[in-house]
Amino acid sequence: MRKYRICCLAVAMLASTLSRAQTADELFASLRTKILQVTDYEARVNMKIDVTYMRVPLLKGTLYFKAPDKMKLERNGGVSILPRKNVKLTLSNLIPTGKVTIIDMGAAAYNGKKVRILKVVPDDEKSTIVLTKIWVDEARLLVVHAETTTYSDGSLVMDLDYDKYAAYALPDRIKIFMDLKDYKLPKSVTMDYDNATPTPPDPKQDKPKKGTIEIKYLDYKINQGLPDSRFE
Amino acid sequence: MIKLLYIELYKIFRRPRTYISFGMVAAIALLIQFAMTSGGKDFLAFGMQGISEQFTFEGKILNGYLVAYIILQSLLIHIPLLIALVGGDALAGEANMGTLRLVLTRPISRAQLVLIKFCAGIIYALALIIWLAVVALFMSLLFFGAGDMINMKSDTFILLLKDDIMWRYFLAFGFAAVAMTTIVSLSIFLSAFAENAIGPIMTTMAIVVVLTILSNLELPLFNLVKPYLFTTHMIGWKGFFDDPVPYKAIGRSALVLFSYTVGFLVLTITYFNKKDIKS
């Protein structure tokens, strides 16, 4: 009788695990389908860059996106700044279109909301992303938080808020936390004006520096069929 | 006094060598502008290689405001040398030509003569700064157009929006004029000691060059004296391109420069009043 109970319990646990794995795959597949329904968009944005060594005012402009990875910020003749390389301001790079392995990390609470945490590992060895961890609001089928580890550009953490465009999985606000390398130019070249304000020693000098980029999307024009020439 | 000032200005502006400065400023500005039209992007890529590893920059980075800043960065160290050409000649030139005694036979005091020479020198310096503004800023804007300006300091990257730049240039040129006044007073001070213009001109140039090197070398020994060197404060115009603008530091720099100017002027008048003028 005891052996029968243990056997039943083992079968039940295995079944539960299998069913959960399937659910995670399904959840990810649904999420990917929802995100990939947007093939391009044009959005009016306000971008706030908060990086230790950068002093940049609030940048207002138009952000253009075309799947899978084309992105351009236009600022009516002004200079636009975007994070380089793998740090795209879209979920598309976090939700790879290729083959991936999904690991279900279970349920959790994030900002008072019940979420499901999934680990997404791209199977493609050439992928620059090592691992992406996403916090999914299952009820709304939206990614509210994501953490990506890349091979060469450190880690990237992204917070996403949704409102009017939640049906398209397009956020109203994204906050990106990124690792930064040091920025230094020789003083003999820049010939700085020393304003005699002593810089306090940075206790985190040896630790990787962090920066944030916050983008508020004011409105979207979705799937208008943006030409590639827009990104040249 | 005004008539004497006119005479001094006439003397300055009738000499062909006065216009060497204007020609040189225009030539350097035009050369930099020409070089920027062909190799400006490579120059920028080199300067921005550190930050470009982490961010991409698009848009009109190479614009008139940035080119003007590069020209000013190159030229505002050399403008003092050009001003020394006139300031160093002020009293020593008269002595060399044997006209100093003649000038002093007029019913003006020696102090008044020094002040007139000083005012004429300032007007010349202002004319040179205005000319610099025309060829460096307005011509760069004409050739390259306006746009947001990037300013790369040794540890900070600053982006200024195009509508927020012109006032900075006006204040920067104003500050440069204050800095040049110090050079005028230094060169006139050295001019009072000499009987030949070459000496004070060369000495002013040497002082400016040596002190500029001391101001820019990052060595602990020099760091002690830097705050007291006028050359450290002469680049205060750059502060207007910082964000936020360090008004307190700029004010302190202006005060240091003003103190030097007054100091050199008082020393010149004191010495010149006692000087035995033989020619």
The domain that holds A152 is classified in CATH as 2.50.20.10
Of B61, B227, B243, the CB nearest to A79: B61
CA distances from A151 to A129, A133, A159 (A): 6, 15, 21
Tell how many helices (H) and how many strands (E) occur in chain B.
14, 3
Residue B2 in this model has a pLDDT that exceeds 60: yes
A13 falls within a domain: no
Q: Residue A89 belongs to what domain range?
A: 19-192+205-222
Residue A10 falls within a domain, yes or no? no
Note the pLDDT of residue B49. 77
Q: Which of B205, B206, B193, B209 is nearest to B267 (CA)?
A: B193
Domain-embedded: residue A12: no
* SS3 category, B148: coil
Q: pLDDT, tens digit, for every residue of A157-201?
A: 889 999 999 999 899 999 988 877 777 777 767 777 876 554 555
* Contact status, residue A57 vs residue A151, Cβ threshold 8 Å: no
At residue A88, the pLDDT reads: 60
**Has residue A135 been placed in a domain?**
yes
The single residue listed with the structure tokens 């982006």 is B159
Q: A89 pLDDT band (50/70/90 cuts)? A: low
**Class of residue A65 by CB neighbours under 10 A (exposed 0-12, middle 13-18, buried 19+):** buried
ipTM score of the complex? 0.76
The answer to whether the beta carbons of residues B37 and B64 sit under 8 Å apart is no
User: What's the structural domain count of chain A?
Assistant: 1
**Beta-strand relationship, B157-160 and A54-55:** parallel
Decide if B199 contacts B275 (C-beta within 8 A).
no
At what angle are helices B18-47 and B2-14 packed, to 10 degrees?
Answer: 70
Q: Is A91 part of a structural domain of the chain? A: yes
Answer whether residue A162 is part of any domain: yes
CA nearest neighbour of A94 among A47, A49, A149, A43: A149
Please name the member of A79, A180, A183 whose beta carbon is closest to the beta carbon of B155. A183
| Percent of chain B residues topping a pLDDT of 90 | 58
Position A173 scores a pLDDT of 93
Say whether residue A221 is in contact with chain B using an 8 A CB cutoff.
no
Q: How far is CA B148 from CA A49, B173, B247, in A?
A: 16, 19, 22
pLDDT in tens, B36-52: 998 888 888 887 877 88
Q: Show residues of chain B in contact with A191, CB under 8 Å.
A: 73, 216, 235, 238
Q: Is position A81 within any domain?
A: yes
Confidence of residue A92 (pLDDT cuts 50, 70, 90): low
**A65 CB contacts (<8 Å, ≥6 apart)?**
A38, A40, A41, A42, A43, A71, A90, A92, A226
Q: Given a cut of 50, is residue B167 above it in pLDDT?
A: yes
Task: Return the pLDDT at A177.
Answer: 87
pLDDT at B157 over 80: yes
**Contact yes or no for A114/A145 (Cβ under 8 A):** no
Higher pLDDT among residues B113 and A200, named by residue: B113
Q: Which of B53, B76, B152, B154 to mutate to test the interface with A (most CBs of A within 10 A)?
A: B154
What the block records as the tokens of B150 is 């990037």
Specify the pLDDT at position A8: 53
Q: Is residue A136 part of a domain?
A: yes
Pairwise pLDDT comparison (A157 vs B169), residue with the higher score: B169
B20 compared with A127, residue with greater pLDDT: B20
List, for residues A4-37, the tens digit of each pLDDT value.
Answer: 665 555 555 444 444 444 478 888 888 888 888 8
Question: Which range (A82-86, A116-120, A135-139) has the least confidence?
Answer: A82-86
CB atoms within 10 A of CB A19: 10
The residue assigned the tokens 């659910």 is A23
Q: With H, G, I as helix, E, B as strand and everything else as coil, classify residue B130.
A: helix
